[in-house]
Structure 1
Protein backbone atom coordinates (compact mmCIF):
# COMPACT_ATOMS: atom_id res chain seq x y z
CA UNK A 1 0.00 0.00 0.00
CA UNK A 2 1.58 3.22 -1.19
CA UNK A 3 0.81 6.90 -1.00
CA UNK A 4 0.36 8.84 -4.21
CA UNK A 5 3.60 9.50 -6.03
CA UNK A 6 5.11 12.94 -5.36
CA UNK A 7 5.51 13.56 -9.10
CA UNK A 8 5.76 11.59 -12.29
CA UNK A 9 8.64 9.10 -12.41
CA UNK A 10 9.31 9.12 -8.68
CA UNK A 11 8.25 6.28 -6.41
CA UNK A 12 5.93 6.73 -3.46
CA UNK A 13 6.66 5.83 0.13
CA UNK A 14 4.87 3.11 2.03
CA UNK A 15 1.72 4.72 3.45
CA UNK A 16 2.38 5.83 7.01
CA UNK A 17 -1.24 6.58 7.83
CA UNK A 18 -3.11 3.46 6.72
CA UNK A 19 -3.85 1.14 9.66
CA UNK A 20 -1.89 -2.06 10.00
CA UNK A 21 -3.72 -5.34 9.62
CA UNK A 22 -5.31 -6.23 12.93
CA UNK A 23 -3.49 -9.57 13.30
CA UNK A 24 -0.10 -7.87 13.28
CA UNK A 25 -0.67 -4.85 15.53
CA UNK A 26 0.16 -6.64 18.78
CA UNK A 27 3.11 -8.67 17.40
CA UNK A 28 4.69 -5.44 16.10
CA UNK A 29 4.06 -3.66 19.40
CA UNK A 30 5.55 -6.61 21.29
CA UNK A 31 8.58 -6.61 18.99
CA UNK A 32 9.21 -2.92 19.62
CA UNK A 33 8.87 -3.36 23.38
CA UNK A 34 11.13 -6.39 23.59
CA UNK A 35 13.80 -5.09 21.23
CA UNK A 36 13.90 -1.78 23.09
CA UNK A 37 14.03 -3.76 26.32
CA UNK A 38 17.18 -5.69 25.41
CA UNK A 39 19.01 -3.05 23.36
CA UNK A 40 17.85 0.19 25.00
CA UNK A 41 19.55 3.33 23.73
CA UNK A 42 21.60 1.32 21.24
CA UNK A 43 18.57 1.40 18.92
CA UNK A 44 18.14 4.42 16.67
CA UNK A 45 14.99 3.29 14.86
CA UNK A 46 12.97 0.20 13.90
CA UNK A 47 11.28 -0.61 10.59
CA UNK A 48 8.99 -3.29 9.22
CA UNK A 49 9.00 -4.37 5.59
CA UNK A 50 7.53 -7.08 3.38
CA UNK A 51 3.86 -8.03 3.24
CA UNK A 52 3.11 -6.75 6.75
CA UNK A 53 4.34 -3.26 5.88
CA UNK A 54 2.39 -3.36 2.61
CA UNK A 55 -0.79 -4.45 4.48
CA UNK A 56 -1.04 -7.39 2.10
CA UNK A 57 -0.17 -10.24 4.49
CA UNK A 58 -2.44 -13.24 4.81
CA UNK A 59 -3.48 -14.90 8.05
CA UNK A 60 0.17 -15.83 8.65
CA UNK A 61 3.26 -14.01 7.46
CA UNK A 62 6.91 -13.39 8.20
CA UNK A 63 7.59 -10.37 10.37
CA UNK A 64 10.55 -8.64 8.75
CA UNK A 65 12.26 -6.10 11.02
CA UNK A 66 15.19 -3.82 10.29
CA UNK A 67 17.02 -2.48 13.31
CA UNK A 68 19.13 0.64 12.80
CA UNK A 69 21.62 0.88 15.66
CA UNK A 70 24.04 3.56 16.81
CA UNK A 71 26.86 0.99 16.80
CA UNK A 72 27.55 -2.61 15.83
CA UNK A 73 26.06 -5.13 18.24
CA UNK A 74 28.13 -7.55 20.29
CA UNK A 75 27.65 -11.29 20.64
CA UNK A 76 25.60 -11.00 23.83
CA UNK A 77 23.22 -8.54 22.19
CA UNK A 78 22.72 -10.80 19.18
CA UNK A 79 22.00 -13.66 21.58
CA UNK A 80 19.37 -11.51 23.30
CA UNK A 81 17.80 -10.76 19.92
CA UNK A 82 17.59 -14.47 19.16
CA UNK A 83 15.67 -14.90 22.40
CA UNK A 84 13.32 -12.08 21.37
CA UNK A 85 12.84 -13.76 17.99
CA UNK A 86 11.88 -17.04 19.63
CA UNK A 87 9.41 -15.36 22.00
CA UNK A 88 7.72 -13.44 19.19
CA UNK A 89 7.39 -16.55 17.05
CA UNK A 90 5.89 -18.49 19.94
CA UNK A 91 3.47 -15.78 21.09
CA UNK A 92 1.50 -15.08 17.91
CA UNK A 93 -0.32 -17.41 15.55
CA UNK A 94 -0.12 -14.75 12.83
CA UNK A 95 3.69 -14.64 12.82
CA UNK A 96 5.26 -17.43 10.83
CA UNK A 97 8.87 -16.33 11.25
CA UNK A 98 10.67 -13.28 12.61
CA UNK A 99 13.59 -11.95 10.61
CA UNK A 100 16.00 -9.35 11.94
CA UNK A 101 18.31 -7.25 9.81
CA UNK A 102 20.67 -5.17 11.94
CA UNK A 103 22.54 -2.25 10.39
CA UNK A 104 24.58 0.54 12.04
CA UNK A 105 23.34 4.07 11.44
CA UNK A 106 26.58 5.09 9.74
CA UNK A 107 26.06 2.40 7.08
CA UNK A 108 22.53 3.61 6.36
CA UNK A 109 23.47 7.25 5.96
CA UNK A 110 26.71 6.91 3.99
CA UNK A 111 26.43 8.06 0.38
CA UNK A 112 27.97 4.80 -0.83
CA UNK A 113 24.86 2.88 0.33
CA UNK A 114 22.19 5.31 -0.81
CA UNK A 115 20.88 3.04 -3.58
CA UNK A 116 20.41 0.22 -1.08
CA UNK A 117 19.63 1.56 2.36
CA UNK A 118 18.37 4.93 1.21
CA UNK A 119 16.02 3.30 -1.29
CA UNK A 120 14.94 0.56 1.14
CA UNK A 121 14.15 2.93 4.01
CA UNK A 122 12.36 5.41 1.74
CA UNK A 123 10.30 3.06 -0.39
CA UNK A 124 10.20 -0.44 1.11
CA UNK A 125 9.96 0.04 4.87
CA UNK A 126 7.69 1.54 7.49
CA UNK A 127 9.12 3.11 10.65
CA UNK A 128 7.48 1.76 13.82
CA UNK A 129 9.82 3.28 16.42
CA UNK A 130 12.43 6.04 16.61
CA UNK A 131 13.37 8.84 14.23
CA UNK A 132 12.19 7.95 10.73
CA UNK A 133 15.21 8.01 8.42
CA UNK A 134 12.89 8.07 5.40
CA UNK A 135 12.62 11.81 5.99
CA UNK A 136 16.36 12.09 5.35
CA UNK A 137 16.10 10.83 1.77
CA UNK A 138 14.40 12.22 -1.31
CA UNK A 139 12.15 10.11 -3.49
CA UNK A 140 13.90 7.73 -5.88
CA UNK A 141 13.26 6.67 -9.44
CA UNK A 142 13.67 3.03 -10.40
CA UNK A 143 17.12 2.66 -11.92
CA UNK A 144 19.67 0.01 -12.72
CA UNK A 145 21.78 1.28 -9.82
CA UNK A 146 18.90 0.59 -7.44
CA UNK A 147 18.38 -2.93 -8.81
CA UNK A 148 22.08 -3.74 -8.43
CA UNK A 149 22.27 -2.37 -4.92
CA UNK A 150 19.10 -4.08 -3.72
CA UNK A 151 20.33 -7.47 -4.97
CA UNK A 152 24.04 -7.08 -4.37
CA UNK A 153 24.13 -9.70 -1.62
CA UNK A 154 22.32 -12.40 -3.62
CA UNK A 155 25.30 -14.74 -3.95
CA UNK A 156 26.04 -14.54 -0.22
CA UNK A 157 22.43 -15.19 0.78
CA UNK A 158 22.07 -18.10 -1.65
CA UNK A 159 25.26 -19.66 -0.33
CA UNK A 160 23.94 -19.40 3.25
CA UNK A 161 20.58 -20.89 2.29
CA UNK A 162 22.21 -23.65 0.27
CA UNK A 163 24.14 -24.66 3.37
CA UNK A 164 21.00 -24.61 5.51
CA UNK A 165 19.28 -26.94 3.07
CA UNK A 166 22.28 -29.24 2.91
CA UNK A 167 22.44 -29.75 6.69
CA UNK A 168 18.68 -29.70 7.36
CA UNK A 169 17.38 -32.75 9.18
CA UNK A 170 13.75 -31.61 9.42
CA UNK A 171 11.33 -30.79 6.62
CA UNK A 172 10.40 -27.50 8.27
CA UNK A 173 13.96 -26.22 8.23
CA UNK A 174 14.47 -27.24 4.63
CA UNK A 175 11.15 -25.77 3.49
CA UNK A 176 11.92 -22.46 5.23
CA UNK A 177 15.29 -22.15 3.49
CA UNK A 178 13.90 -23.21 0.10
CA UNK A 179 11.03 -20.71 0.38
CA UNK A 180 13.44 -17.93 1.32
CA UNK A 181 15.72 -18.77 -1.61
CA UNK A 182 12.80 -18.80 -4.05
CA UNK A 183 11.57 -15.39 -2.89
CA UNK A 184 15.05 -13.90 -3.22
CA UNK A 185 15.51 -15.35 -6.69
CA UNK A 186 12.16 -14.07 -7.95
CA UNK A 187 12.83 -10.58 -6.64
CA UNK A 188 16.36 -10.64 -8.03
CA UNK A 189 14.98 -11.74 -11.41
CA UNK A 190 12.56 -8.81 -11.32
CA UNK A 191 15.52 -6.55 -10.60
CA UNK A 192 16.83 -7.38 -14.06
CA UNK A 193 13.84 -5.65 -15.66
CA UNK A 194 12.66 -3.12 -13.06
CA UNK A 195 14.47 -0.23 -14.77
CA UNK A 196 12.77 -1.17 -18.05
CA UNK A 197 9.36 -1.46 -16.41
CA UNK A 198 9.80 1.83 -14.56
CA UNK A 199 8.34 0.51 -11.33
CA UNK A 200 9.36 -1.39 -8.21
CA UNK A 201 7.12 -4.37 -7.40
CA UNK A 202 7.24 -6.33 -4.16
CA UNK A 203 4.40 -8.74 -4.82
CA UNK A 204 6.03 -11.95 -6.02
CA UNK A 205 3.46 -12.70 -8.71
CA UNK A 206 3.80 -9.19 -10.12
CA UNK A 207 7.58 -9.54 -10.05
CA UNK A 208 7.41 -12.83 -11.95
CA UNK A 209 4.94 -11.49 -14.50
CA UNK A 210 7.14 -8.47 -15.27
CA UNK A 211 10.24 -10.64 -15.51
CA UNK A 212 8.63 -13.14 -17.88
CA UNK A 213 7.59 -10.35 -20.25
CA UNK A 214 11.30 -9.92 -20.98
CA UNK A 215 12.49 -13.50 -20.40
CA UNK A 216 9.62 -15.79 -21.48
CA UNK A 217 12.02 -18.73 -21.85
CA UNK A 218 12.41 -18.81 -18.04
CA UNK A 219 8.78 -19.73 -17.34
CA UNK A 220 9.66 -23.26 -16.16
CA UNK A 221 12.13 -21.90 -13.62
CA UNK A 222 9.54 -19.42 -12.34
CA UNK A 223 6.99 -22.20 -11.99
CA UNK A 224 9.44 -24.28 -9.96
CA UNK A 225 10.31 -21.35 -7.71
CA UNK A 226 6.65 -20.83 -6.88
CA UNK A 227 6.43 -24.54 -6.14
CA UNK A 228 9.02 -23.94 -3.40
CA UNK A 229 7.11 -20.91 -2.12
CA UNK A 230 4.07 -23.14 -1.71
CA UNK A 231 6.28 -25.20 0.61
CA UNK A 232 5.74 -28.45 -1.23
CA UNK A 233 8.33 -31.11 -0.35
CA UNK A 234 11.11 -31.31 -2.92
CA UNK A 235 14.26 -33.36 -2.60
CA UNK A 236 17.33 -31.45 -1.50
CA UNK A 237 19.22 -32.26 -4.67
CA UNK A 238 16.49 -30.76 -6.87
CA UNK A 239 16.21 -27.62 -4.74
CA UNK A 240 19.95 -27.03 -4.76
CA UNK A 241 20.16 -27.70 -8.49
CA UNK A 242 17.47 -25.07 -9.15
CA UNK A 243 19.17 -22.55 -6.87
CA UNK A 244 22.56 -23.12 -8.47
CA UNK A 245 21.34 -23.04 -12.07
CA UNK A 246 18.89 -20.15 -11.90
CA UNK A 247 20.91 -18.23 -9.32
CA UNK A 248 24.01 -18.51 -11.48
CA UNK A 249 22.08 -17.37 -14.53
CA UNK A 250 20.61 -14.36 -12.70
CA UNK A 251 24.02 -13.27 -11.46
CA UNK A 252 25.60 -13.64 -14.89
CA UNK A 253 22.74 -11.61 -16.39
CA UNK A 254 23.35 -8.84 -13.83
CA UNK A 255 27.00 -8.78 -14.88
CA UNK A 256 26.07 -8.73 -18.57
CA UNK A 257 23.58 -5.86 -18.21
CA UNK A 258 26.01 -3.95 -16.03
CA UNK A 259 28.69 -4.17 -18.72
CA UNK A 260 26.25 -2.89 -21.35
CA UNK A 261 24.93 -0.03 -19.24
CA UNK A 262 28.29 0.83 -17.68
Structure 2
Protein backbone atom coordinates (compact mmCIF):
# COMPACT_ATOMS: atom_id res chain seq x y z
CA UNK A 1 0.00 0.00 0.00
CA UNK A 2 1.26 3.49 -0.91
CA UNK A 3 2.48 5.39 2.13
CA UNK A 4 1.57 9.05 1.94
CA UNK A 5 3.34 10.54 4.93
CA UNK A 6 0.22 10.95 7.09
CA UNK A 7 -0.93 9.43 10.34
CA UNK A 8 -4.25 7.64 10.89
CA UNK A 9 -5.99 11.00 11.40
CA UNK A 10 -4.74 12.59 8.17
CA UNK A 11 -2.07 14.80 9.75
CA UNK A 12 1.53 15.02 8.55
CA UNK A 13 4.00 12.69 10.19
CA UNK A 14 7.40 14.26 10.80
CA UNK A 15 9.36 12.77 7.96
CA UNK A 16 12.91 12.48 9.32
CA UNK A 17 14.75 11.41 12.44
CA UNK A 18 18.33 11.20 13.67
CA UNK A 19 17.90 7.43 13.80
CA UNK A 20 17.56 7.34 10.01
CA UNK A 21 20.87 9.10 9.35
CA UNK A 22 23.09 6.64 7.50
CA UNK A 23 26.36 5.55 9.06
CA UNK A 24 28.37 7.48 6.46
CA UNK A 25 26.89 10.78 7.64
CA UNK A 26 26.75 10.34 11.41
CA UNK A 27 30.17 11.92 11.90
CA UNK A 28 29.29 15.14 10.07
CA UNK A 29 25.93 15.38 11.86
CA UNK A 30 27.63 14.99 15.24
CA UNK A 31 30.22 17.60 14.27
CA UNK A 32 27.50 19.98 13.12
CA UNK A 33 25.72 19.69 16.46
CA UNK A 34 28.92 20.40 18.39
CA UNK A 35 30.11 23.24 16.16
CA UNK A 36 26.73 24.99 16.02
CA UNK A 37 26.57 25.14 19.80
CA UNK A 38 30.11 26.46 20.05
CA UNK A 39 29.73 29.00 17.26
CA UNK A 40 26.40 30.54 18.30
CA UNK A 41 26.33 30.11 22.05
CA UNK A 42 23.44 31.96 23.66
CA UNK A 43 22.30 33.40 20.33
CA UNK A 44 20.92 29.99 19.40
CA UNK A 45 17.50 28.76 20.46
CA UNK A 46 17.52 25.46 18.54
CA UNK A 47 18.96 23.71 15.50
CA UNK A 48 17.38 21.28 13.03
CA UNK A 49 18.47 18.93 10.28
CA UNK A 50 16.43 18.54 7.11
CA UNK A 51 16.75 17.10 3.63
CA UNK A 52 18.03 13.71 2.52
CA UNK A 53 20.24 12.98 5.55
CA UNK A 54 17.49 12.70 8.21
CA UNK A 55 15.32 10.88 5.67
CA UNK A 56 18.05 8.25 5.30
CA UNK A 57 18.40 8.80 1.55
CA UNK A 58 21.72 10.65 1.41
CA UNK A 59 24.25 9.84 -1.32
CA UNK A 60 27.86 9.91 -0.04
CA UNK A 61 29.86 12.55 -1.86
CA UNK A 62 26.75 13.94 -3.55
CA UNK A 63 24.31 15.03 -0.86
CA UNK A 64 24.53 18.32 0.98
CA UNK A 65 24.06 18.98 4.69
CA UNK A 66 20.94 21.09 5.28
CA UNK A 67 20.49 22.93 8.57
CA UNK A 68 17.85 25.27 9.99
CA UNK A 69 18.85 27.47 12.93
CA UNK A 70 16.32 29.22 15.14
CA UNK A 71 17.89 32.23 16.84
CA UNK A 72 16.63 34.25 19.78
CA UNK A 73 16.70 37.32 17.52
CA UNK A 74 16.42 38.07 13.83
CA UNK A 75 19.67 37.14 12.02
CA UNK A 76 22.23 39.91 11.78
CA UNK A 77 25.50 40.24 9.85
CA UNK A 78 27.36 38.51 12.67
CA UNK A 79 25.06 35.50 12.39
CA UNK A 80 25.47 35.33 8.62
CA UNK A 81 29.23 35.47 8.97
CA UNK A 82 29.09 32.71 11.58
CA UNK A 83 27.02 30.54 9.26
CA UNK A 84 29.42 31.06 6.37
CA UNK A 85 32.43 30.03 8.45
CA UNK A 86 30.56 27.09 9.97
CA UNK A 87 29.33 25.79 6.63
CA UNK A 88 32.67 26.16 4.91
CA UNK A 89 34.45 24.31 7.72
CA UNK A 90 32.04 21.38 7.68
CA UNK A 91 32.19 21.12 3.90
CA UNK A 92 35.99 21.11 3.89
CA UNK A 93 36.34 18.62 6.75
CA UNK A 94 33.79 16.03 5.57
CA UNK A 95 34.15 14.81 1.97
CA UNK A 96 31.03 12.67 2.35
CA UNK A 97 28.92 15.82 1.87
CA UNK A 98 28.84 18.14 -1.12
CA UNK A 99 28.05 21.54 0.34
CA UNK A 100 26.29 22.90 3.41
CA UNK A 101 23.09 24.94 3.40
CA UNK A 102 22.20 26.91 6.53
CA UNK A 103 18.87 28.69 6.97
CA UNK A 104 18.59 31.13 9.89
CA UNK A 105 15.47 32.76 11.31
CA UNK A 106 14.43 34.41 14.53
CA UNK A 107 12.27 32.09 16.63
CA UNK A 108 9.48 34.66 16.83
CA UNK A 109 9.19 34.68 13.06
CA UNK A 110 9.12 30.88 12.92
CA UNK A 111 6.26 30.87 15.40
CA UNK A 112 4.40 33.84 13.88
CA UNK A 113 0.88 33.62 12.49
CA UNK A 114 2.15 34.91 9.14
CA UNK A 115 4.55 31.97 8.79
CA UNK A 116 2.22 29.37 10.31
CA UNK A 117 1.66 27.57 7.01
CA UNK A 118 5.08 28.11 5.48
CA UNK A 119 8.15 28.24 7.72
CA UNK A 120 6.20 26.93 10.70
CA UNK A 121 4.97 23.93 8.74
CA UNK A 122 8.45 23.38 7.32
CA UNK A 123 10.03 23.26 10.77
CA UNK A 124 7.27 21.17 12.30
CA UNK A 125 6.98 18.56 9.55
CA UNK A 126 10.20 18.50 7.52
CA UNK A 127 12.90 19.34 10.09
CA UNK A 128 14.49 16.98 12.61
CA UNK A 129 15.51 18.42 16.01
CA UNK A 130 19.27 18.45 16.43
CA UNK A 131 19.96 20.82 19.31
CA UNK A 132 17.81 22.74 21.83
CA UNK A 133 14.09 22.79 22.58
CA UNK A 134 11.84 21.85 19.66
CA UNK A 135 9.73 24.79 18.45
CA UNK A 136 7.30 22.35 16.83
CA UNK A 137 5.74 21.87 20.26
CA UNK A 138 4.25 25.37 19.88
CA UNK A 139 2.88 24.81 16.37
CA UNK A 140 -0.34 23.13 15.21
CA UNK A 141 -0.66 19.88 13.31
CA UNK A 142 -0.97 20.12 9.54
CA UNK A 143 -2.95 18.51 6.74
CA UNK A 144 -2.14 18.49 2.99
CA UNK A 145 -4.80 21.05 2.09
CA UNK A 146 -5.16 24.02 -0.26
CA UNK A 147 -4.14 26.55 2.38
CA UNK A 148 -0.82 24.79 2.83
CA UNK A 149 -0.36 24.55 -0.93
CA UNK A 150 -0.95 28.28 -1.33
CA UNK A 151 1.30 29.41 1.49
CA UNK A 152 4.25 27.14 0.68
CA UNK A 153 4.64 27.52 -3.09
CA UNK A 154 2.04 30.03 -4.22
CA UNK A 155 4.72 32.59 -5.07
CA UNK A 156 6.24 31.06 -8.21
CA UNK A 157 4.86 33.84 -10.42
CA UNK A 158 6.68 36.40 -8.28
CA UNK A 159 9.92 34.38 -8.34
CA UNK A 160 10.09 33.80 -12.09
CA UNK A 161 11.53 37.22 -13.06
CA UNK A 162 14.45 36.64 -10.67
CA UNK A 163 14.90 33.11 -11.95
CA UNK A 164 15.06 34.41 -15.53
CA UNK A 165 17.61 37.05 -14.56
CA UNK A 166 19.79 34.50 -12.79
CA UNK A 167 19.60 32.14 -15.76
CA UNK A 168 20.68 34.91 -18.15
CA UNK A 169 23.53 35.98 -15.89
CA UNK A 170 24.98 32.47 -15.40
CA UNK A 171 28.30 32.56 -17.25
CA UNK A 172 30.02 29.28 -16.40
CA UNK A 173 29.04 25.60 -16.51
CA UNK A 174 29.39 25.47 -12.73
CA UNK A 175 26.94 28.36 -12.28
CA UNK A 176 24.46 26.83 -14.74
CA UNK A 177 24.70 23.46 -13.05
CA UNK A 178 23.97 25.04 -9.67
CA UNK A 179 20.94 26.85 -11.06
CA UNK A 180 19.76 23.69 -12.78
CA UNK A 181 19.78 21.90 -9.45
CA UNK A 182 18.03 24.72 -7.58
CA UNK A 183 15.40 25.42 -10.26
CA UNK A 184 14.70 21.72 -10.81
CA UNK A 185 14.09 21.14 -7.11
CA UNK A 186 11.84 24.18 -6.82
CA UNK A 187 9.72 23.34 -9.85
CA UNK A 188 9.28 19.69 -8.90
CA UNK A 189 8.27 20.59 -5.36
CA UNK A 190 5.90 23.26 -6.65
CA UNK A 191 4.42 20.77 -9.10
CA UNK A 192 3.87 18.33 -6.28
CA UNK A 193 2.23 20.81 -3.92
CA UNK A 194 -0.04 21.86 -6.79
CA UNK A 195 -1.57 18.36 -6.72
CA UNK A 196 -0.91 17.56 -3.03
CA UNK A 197 -4.47 18.28 -1.80
CA UNK A 198 -5.95 16.08 -4.53
CA UNK A 199 -3.48 13.26 -3.88
CA UNK A 200 -4.00 13.60 -0.15
CA UNK A 201 -0.51 13.04 1.17
CA UNK A 202 3.09 14.12 1.34
CA UNK A 203 6.45 13.05 -0.06
CA UNK A 204 9.80 14.80 -0.25
CA UNK A 205 11.15 12.26 -2.75
CA UNK A 206 11.57 14.19 -6.00
CA UNK A 207 11.07 11.22 -8.31
CA UNK A 208 7.88 10.25 -6.51
CA UNK A 209 6.76 13.89 -6.52
CA UNK A 210 7.11 14.00 -10.30
CA UNK A 211 5.23 10.73 -10.72
CA UNK A 212 2.36 11.92 -8.53
CA UNK A 213 2.20 15.20 -10.46
CA UNK A 214 2.09 13.29 -13.75
CA UNK A 215 -1.08 11.45 -12.71
CA UNK A 216 -2.96 14.76 -12.78
CA UNK A 217 -1.11 16.48 -15.63
CA UNK A 218 -0.05 13.76 -18.08
CA UNK A 219 0.81 16.29 -20.79
CA UNK A 220 3.50 17.74 -18.52
CA UNK A 221 4.59 14.47 -16.89
CA UNK A 222 7.70 13.95 -19.02
CA UNK A 223 8.93 17.48 -18.32
CA UNK A 224 8.50 17.01 -14.58
CA UNK A 225 10.22 13.63 -14.58
CA UNK A 226 13.15 15.19 -16.45
CA UNK A 227 13.29 18.01 -13.89
CA UNK A 228 13.36 15.48 -11.04
CA UNK A 229 16.27 13.68 -12.69
CA UNK A 230 18.12 16.98 -13.23
CA UNK A 231 17.64 17.88 -9.56
CA UNK A 232 19.75 14.85 -8.63
CA UNK A 233 22.19 15.05 -11.55
CA UNK A 234 22.15 18.68 -12.76
CA UNK A 235 23.40 19.62 -16.20
CA UNK A 236 25.05 22.87 -17.40
CA UNK A 237 22.89 23.11 -20.53
CA UNK A 238 21.45 26.66 -20.84
CA UNK A 239 18.56 25.26 -22.91
CA UNK A 240 17.35 23.37 -19.84
CA UNK A 241 17.24 26.59 -17.81
CA UNK A 242 15.43 28.39 -20.64
CA UNK A 243 12.84 25.64 -20.72
CA UNK A 244 12.26 26.09 -17.00
CA UNK A 245 11.85 29.87 -17.01
CA UNK A 246 10.10 30.26 -20.38
CA UNK A 247 7.82 27.22 -20.53
CA UNK A 248 7.38 24.89 -17.54
CA UNK A 249 7.72 27.64 -14.92
CA UNK A 250 5.20 30.09 -16.41
CA UNK A 251 2.67 27.32 -17.08
CA UNK A 252 3.07 26.01 -13.54
CA UNK A 253 2.71 29.49 -12.03
CA UNK A 254 -0.52 30.15 -13.96
CA UNK A 255 -2.01 26.78 -13.04
CA UNK A 256 -1.01 27.19 -9.40
CA UNK A 257 -2.60 30.63 -9.16
CA UNK A 258 -5.78 29.41 -10.83
CA UNK A 259 -6.13 26.45 -8.44
CA UNK A 260 -4.78 27.75 -5.11
CA UNK A 261 -4.36 31.52 -5.37
CA UNK A 262 -1.22 33.42 -4.47
CA UNK A 263 0.87 33.31 -1.35
CA UNK A 264 0.05 35.93 1.27
CA UNK A 265 2.52 38.84 0.87
CA UNK A 266 5.17 39.03 3.56
CA UNK A 267 5.72 42.34 5.30
The TM-score range, normalised by the shorter chain, is 0.7 to 0.9
TM-score (norm 1): 0.88
C-alpha contact (below 8 Å) 1:122/1:134 kept by paired residues: yes
C-alpha contact (below 8 Å) 2:12/2:143 kept by paired residues: yes
C-alpha contact (below 8 Å) 2:180/2:241 kept by paired residues: yes
Matching residue of 2:180: 178
SS of the equivalent of 1:88 reads helix
C-alpha contact (below 8 Å) 1:158/1:181 kept by paired residues: no
Change in Cα spacing, 1:206 to 1:119, as seen in structure 2 (3 Å) is same
SS of the equivalent of 1:111 reads coil
Change in Cα spacing, 1:223 to 1:203, as seen in structure 2 (3 Å) is closer
* Deviation at residue 169 of structure 1 after TM alignment: 3.9
C-alpha contact (below 8 Å) 1:183/1:229 kept by paired residues: yes
Task: Write the deviation string for residues 98-137 of structure 1: whole angstroms up to 9, x where unpaired.
Answer: 1111111111111222111232122111010010112223
* Deviation at residue 243 of structure 1 after TM alignment: 2.7
Q: How many residues align?
A: 257
C-alpha contact (below 8 Å) 2:14/2:126 kept by paired residues: yes
1:90 and 1:156 mapped to 2: Cα distance?
Answer: 35
* Deviation at residue 181 of structure 1 after TM alignment: 0.8
Match of 2:107 among 105, 108, 111: 105
Structure 2 residues not aligned, in runs of 5+: 262-267
Matching residue of 1:47: 48
Change in Cα spacing, 1:122 to 1:233, as seen in structure 2 (3 Å) is closer
Map 1:148-227 onto structure 2 (within 5 A).
Answer: 148-154=150-156, 162-227=164-229
Change in Cα spacing, 1:231 to 1:16, as seen in structure 2 (3 Å) is closer
Matching residue of 1:144: 146
SS of the equivalent of 1:199 reads coil
* Deviation at residue 61 of structure 1 after TM alignment: 0.8
2:52 and 2:250 mapped to 1: Cα distance?
Answer: 27
SS of the equivalent of 1:61 reads coil
Change in Cα spacing, 1:160 to 1:55, as seen in structure 2 (3 Å) is farther
Map 1:5-20 onto structure 2 (within 5 A).
Answer: 6-14=7-15, 16=17, 18-20=19-21
Matching residue of 2:57: 56
2:255 and 2:172 mapped to 1: Cα distance?
Answer: 34
* Deviation at residue 208 of structure 1 after TM alignment: 0.6
Answer 1 or 2: higher relative contact order, Cα 8 Å, separation at least 6. Answer: 2
Map 1:12-31 onto structure 2 (within 5 A).
Answer: 12-14=13-15, 16=17, 18-31=19-32
Matching residue of 1:228: 230
C-alpha contact (below 8 Å) 2:183/2:244 kept by paired residues: no
1:129 and 1:158 mapped to 2: Cα distance?
Answer: 35
TM-score (norm 2): 0.86
* Deviation at residue 36 of structure 1 after TM alignment: 2.5
- Aligned-pair RMSD on alpha carbons? 2.4
SS of the equivalent of 2:131 reads strand
* Deviation at residue 174 of structure 1 after TM alignment: 2.0
